[in-house]
Structure 1
Amino acid sequence: MILLAAAGGMLFGLGFIFLNYRSITEYEDYDFTALKSIPIENDFKSNSISEASAASTSNLNFKDVRIQTYTISLFTSAKNAKVTVREAGHGSYHILLLHGHKYSSQIWQKLGTLQYLSKWGYRAVAVDMPKRENRTTTMDDDQEAIRWMGSLIKNLRLSNLVIISPCLSGDFALPYIFQLPKNQKLVRAFVAIAPNGTERFANDDYRQLTIPTLIVHAEHDSVFQPAYELLIQIPNSEVLFMIGAGHNSYVDAPVFFHDGLRKFLHNVSRLA
């Protein structure tokens, strides 16, 4: 059951989506490999946002989705740093998928997110973030994170961009988003999944942010509560509340995460 309440009748006013789903323990043996793509001759193509983006996540056939895996070079403070990229789909809207500390870009393929986004008519790009196991840059401050994100976006030729940022990746995504001018058209929307680094920005920073934002808030993620209190001050924000889920809620309940994401992206594309 999904309930959406929007304040003042505004489409992107502060809203709540409540999700009821099976307990997390039922996903412990979830076979992620069942969602791996089957390469074919041509990728799924779309010149605009498909009507499929307004449809249910169920009954989608992934057999015609091809996921390309390749590396790019980023020139920041680390010389010729290599970053692994997984990409699927075509479309005028580009979705950049970052990841948390426990995972890599592969999580978005295992969950089927790259495949769903491709079928919905988007170009989806997942990248490996710098961390202990695959550090691609020396992260000294916010300016370093901004340079890394800027180089990544330029290298991948991303535009009409939606950034999806869980956990660790908030240390990159938030500084980059907050330094953008208010009238910018590069980043169209932001999906915040318990991102790191929220405390480094003031209340007024959040109140002045004009980017439509989906805040994914898990019921059993008490550590995220202070960050949540900051993020909900974003005027064009709504909340995807995941009942029973923990910190990695999108992994705990991928079906419901994808359904909430699909509706949010569809609304963003319609308002552009």
Structure 2
Amino acid sequence: MPRGRPALLAVVALLICGLLLLLPAARRHAPARGPANATVRAGVVLGDPAVAYREAAVPRFLAPSRPDVLLLHGQAFTSGTWQALGTLALLAAEGHRAVAVDLPGYGDSPPAGMLATQRDRAAFMQRVVQQLGLRRPVLVSPSMSGRFSLPFLLAHGEQLAGFVPIAPVGTREYTAVQYQQVQTPALILYGDRDAGLGKQALQSLQHLPRHRVVVLPDAGHACYMDKPEDFHRALLGFLGQLQ
């Protein structure tokens, strides 16, 4: 073996060891690119009533130019449902500012005694949107939350970029003419095993002039819980059409 080869091999070995030591640091400083890396923080919208919320931050390497998303919840759920399901993190990873609120009397939000009428609930939703600084959000509204989303949609639909009703309650409280006046794009979602409220809500919501319908197979009333991947796919597809 030539005399200089052991020295050369030693130098190469040192270089390889140095590169191996640098790789973990490079990984630590590389931008996160997946839903699991999205940070979800909690906060409170002050006022009467106060409203607790969870928000997923958009990763820094993504431009926050995609529609904001405001998620409500059903009677058996809270804002934590959207965090546990991965919806908040997924939306943030796709470049959407995603906020889920606890409606009054649910989760960490105290009860409210001044939201008895449709006008009260529409004003409440407008305050939440304004204080959170949401820019024409897409409103996702399952089940019980229809009591809040529908009055807001019909009174202030121009403030929404889109509406995603998931078998909401209260749809029969409005006329076909009222729905026909709303120009907000809508994605009507429900599970094929939700033979009650899902199809009932569709009878009214189909009067929205700019709507399309997605029925999730083998899913019940909380179809997003039964088929989260199908739900996320449909939601992201709708959001993509709004951009």
**TM-score of the pair, normalised by structure 1:** 0.71
Question: Counterpart of 1:265?
Answer: 239
Specify the SS of the correspondent of 1:234. coil
Question: Counterpart of 2:219?
Answer: 245
Match of 1:174 among 142, 150, 171: 150
Q: Is 2:98 aligned against 1:124?
A: yes
Residues in 1 aligned to 2:35 and 2:223: alpha-carbon distance in whole angstroms? 23
Question: Counterpart of 2:111?
Answer: 136
Q: Is 2:137 aligned against 1:161?
A: yes
| Conservation of the 8 A alpha-carbon contact between 2:141 and 2:165 | yes
TM-fit CA distance, 1:208: 2.0
Aligned Cα RMSD in Å?
2.1
Match of 1:87 among 42, 55, 68: 55
| Conservation of the 8 A alpha-carbon contact between 2:50 and 2:110 | no
Residues in 2 aligned to 1:236 and 1:208: alpha-carbon distance in whole angstroms? 10
Q: What aligned pairs does 1:1-272 form with structure 2 within 5 A after superposition?
A: 61-75=34-48, 81-90=49-58, 91-92=64-65, 93-131=67-105, 134-138=109-113, 139-180=115-156, 184=158, 186-224=159-197, 225-269=199-243
Higher relative contact order (CA 8 A, sep 6+): 1
Q: Greater share of strand residues, 1 or 2?
A: 1
Aligned letter for 2:81? I
- Stretch of structure 1 that moved more, 150-159 or 96-105: 150-159
| Structure with max Cα Rg | 2
TM-fit CA distance, 1:135: 4.4
Q: Greater share of helix residues, 1 or 2?
A: 2
Specify the SS of the correspondent of 2:35. coil
Aligned letter for 2:98? A
Residues in 2 aligned to 1:247 and 1:267: alpha-carbon distance in whole angstroms? 25
Deviations 1:105-153 (A, max 9, x none): 0000000000110011110000001246754322311011012101111
Q: Between the two proteins, what is the percent identity of the paired residues? A: 32
- Stretch of structure 1 that moved more, 152-161 or 60-69: 60-69
Specify the SS of the correspondent of 2:204. helix
| Conservation of the 8 A alpha-carbon contact between 1:171 and 1:197 | yes
Aligned letter for 2:53? V
Between Structure 1 and Structure 2, how many residues are aligned? 207
| Conservation of the 8 A alpha-carbon contact between 1:83 and 1:136 | no
Specify the SS of the correspondent of 1:235. coil
Residues in 1 aligned to 2:174 and 2:110: alpha-carbon distance in whole angstroms? 25
TM-fit CA distance, 1:206: 1.4
Question: Counterpart of 2:3?
Answer: none
Specify the SS of the correspondent of 1:163. strand
| Conservation of the 8 A alpha-carbon contact between 2:36 and 2:89 | no
| Conservation of the 8 A alpha-carbon contact between 1:67 and 1:87 | yes
Q: Once superposed, which parts of structure 1, at least 4 consecutive aligned residues long, lie more than 4 Å away?
A: 132-135
Distance 1:63 1:227, change over 3 A: closer
TM-fit CA distance, 1:207: 1.8
TM-fit CA distance, 1:72: 2.1
Residues in 2 aligned to 1:143 and 1:234: alpha-carbon distance in whole angstroms? 20
Aligned letter for 2:171? T
